[in-house]
Amino acid sequence: METKTMKPFPDNFLWGSSTAAFQCEGAAHEDGKGNSVMDVRVQDPSICNYEVAADHYHHYKEDIALMKECGLKAYRFSIAWTRIFPEGNGEVNQRGVDFYNNVINECIASGITPIITLYHFEYPQGLVEQYGGWLDRRSIEDYVNYCTFCFKTYGDRVKYWLTVNEQDHVNHMPFRIGFKSTSVLEDEKKGYLANHNMCVAAAYAIKACHEIVEGGKIGPAVCFDMHYPTSNKPEDGLAWLDSMDLRNYYVLDMNVKGKYNPVFKRYLEDRDMMPEIHEGDMEAMKTNKPDFIGFNYYASKSISAFPADEEHPIGDLKIKLLPAEEPGAYKIVKNNNLTATLWGWEIDNIGLECVSRILYDRYELPLLITECGFGNKETPDENGYVEDDDRIDYLSKHILSVKKAMNVGVEFIGFCSWSFMDIVSGHSGFSKRYGFVRVNREEHDLKDLARSKKKSFYWYKETIACNGENIK
């Protein structure tokens, strides 16, 4: 809806930026850190691993000084669980504990609100080896113990917490849960068992946060792409409803409403993938609701009907990274109305406005954008300067969509871009860059890891300084 006037961003809006430990810290085997599933992941050799990353572990002071110079109000980062508990449970590693104390203190001294993700893909390999990790109920207790330790140790200074990053992406990627893929159906079945245990664990972590952290606020950080029906054919509309239930709503419905939405439940039962629900599980979710919804937004998807037939029977899943199509449910097709990044992610800021309104309507909780950003290949000039106008364009349009959603009543806590400095991309190594700050390294050549400010750094600084007045 258009309005005659536009509401400004509130004064306390958290202008932020994000990273994740395994993608930025490096020091993968330093100071007692244990292995996570990301460390042992078998990588495509053309892409770098996480050993050094952006070396934030050794550059954190410099990086936070740059955040301060940029005027960031918030820095969202994750704790590497295995720096604190190298095996995932048992002995605490004090050097890991100290590192995050230092990062938090540095943020606070710089006037930056820390927002901590407790679990961003880096599941402890030790727990996988002890009992199969998320596939076992013991995972719930270990996660809650780890979170409780973090709340007790850092909760005097950290008031914003995120339980699980992109749970849907964990569920569908066996390597992120720590098991070897067998058949897609078996993998999916295990993924939904892990999903259930994660939701129960998150509920008890929310409880612990509320009990331990004075004034603490906690929520999930889901991935929530906008989905559209490809056409006005009723079949596409129905497929769109299915994709929203099966890909977008199911985690949040468990987190916020404490229930399996009916379509998701029927889907799991019909495909023989329904996990066992133990007494008290759903009650724990229902009574321990998040305080806000954190979500990552990058792109939208166009959804078409995909009726099952002899050639494509129900259950014939062909998953590469995520279920992109499923006979009898939906498929994702190219949206010819949008342009895309070099990696085919369709750029759609209006989708962010739609998602914001959908989430706020359905869950009635304030929203925090935990990631939003533009990945690109970049060539700097001789001073390390990058003219990343595409990134500025992407971010300013997406922030405008936040402003428009806010203008019609959606409540936001803040906006965290992905990412503050260049870090290792989740799937594409160091050649896919997202930062306001360039890190001088290439895929396999570490160079000097020097930091330099890109054009977008100055643009974001100006945006924060005028509290988004320049976003029109």
139 binds ligand BG6 (CB under 6 A): no
Residue closer to ligand BG6 by CB (options 231, 428) is 428
323 binds ligand BG6 (CB under 6 A): no
List the beta strands (DSSP E) in 98-250.
Answer: 113-117, 160-165, 217-223, 226-229
- Least distance to ligand BG6 from the beta carbon of 223, Å? 6
371 binds ligand BG6 (CB under 6 A): yes
* DSSP codes of every residue in 300-340: EEEEE-----SSS-TT----SSS--EETTTEEEE--TTS-B
Catalytic residue among 25, 106, 166, 378: 166
219 binds ligand BG6 (CB under 6 A): no
Catalytic residue among 188, 325, 326, 371: 371
- Least distance to ligand BG6 from the beta carbon of 248, Å? 14
SS3 assignment, position 119: coil
Candidate residues 258, 375, 435, 468; the one interacting with ligand BG6 per rule CB under 6 A: 375
Residue closer to ligand BG6 by CB (options 23, 304) is 23
List C-alpha distances in Å: 336 to 111, 249, 301, 342, 400.
44, 25, 11, 15, 23
- Least distance to ligand BG6 from the beta carbon of 395, Å? 14
Please give the structure tokens belonging to residue 160: 């914003």
> Candidates 163-171, 245-253, 378-386, 446-454 — which segment interacts with ligand BG6 by CB under 6 A?
163-171
Nearest partner of 245 among 329, 354, 355, 369, judged by Cα: 329
End-to-end CA distance of the chain: 15
Query: Annotated catalytic, 311?
Result: no
Residue closer to ligand BG6 by CB (options 39, 281) is 39
Please give the structure tokens belonging to residue 336: 């010819």
Matching residue, tokens 């109920």: 137
20 binds ligand BG6 (CB under 6 A): yes
Q: Report 409-448 residues binding ligand BG6 (CB under 6 A).
A: 418, 425-428, 432
- How far, in Å, CA of 191 to CA of 135, rounded? 8
Please give the structure tokens belonging to residue 165: 């990053």
145 binds ligand BG6 (CB under 6 A): no
93 binds ligand BG6 (CB under 6 A): no
SS3 assignment, position 386: coil
Residue closer to ligand BG6 by CB (options 322, 450) is 322
Return the DSSP state at 135: G
Candidate residues 36, 296, 335, 456; the one interacting with ligand BG6 per rule CB under 6 A: 296
Return the DSSP state at 36: B
Q: Report 325-364 residues binding ligand BG6 (CB under 6 A).
A: none
Residue closer to ligand BG6 by CB (options 166, 245) is 166
Matching residue, tokens 């809806």: 1
Q: How many other C-beta atoms can be found within 10 angstroms of the C-beta atom of residue 7?
A: 12
- How far, in Å, CA of 326 to CA of 458, rounded? 44
Please give the structure tokens belonging to residue 212: 């331990």
Query: Annotated catalytic, 51?
Result: no
Residue closer to ligand BG6 by CB (options 25, 371) is 371
Interface residue list for ligand BG6 (CB under 6 A): 20, 23, 165-166, 169, 223, 296, 371, 375, 418, 425-428, 432
Catalytic residue numbers read 166, 371
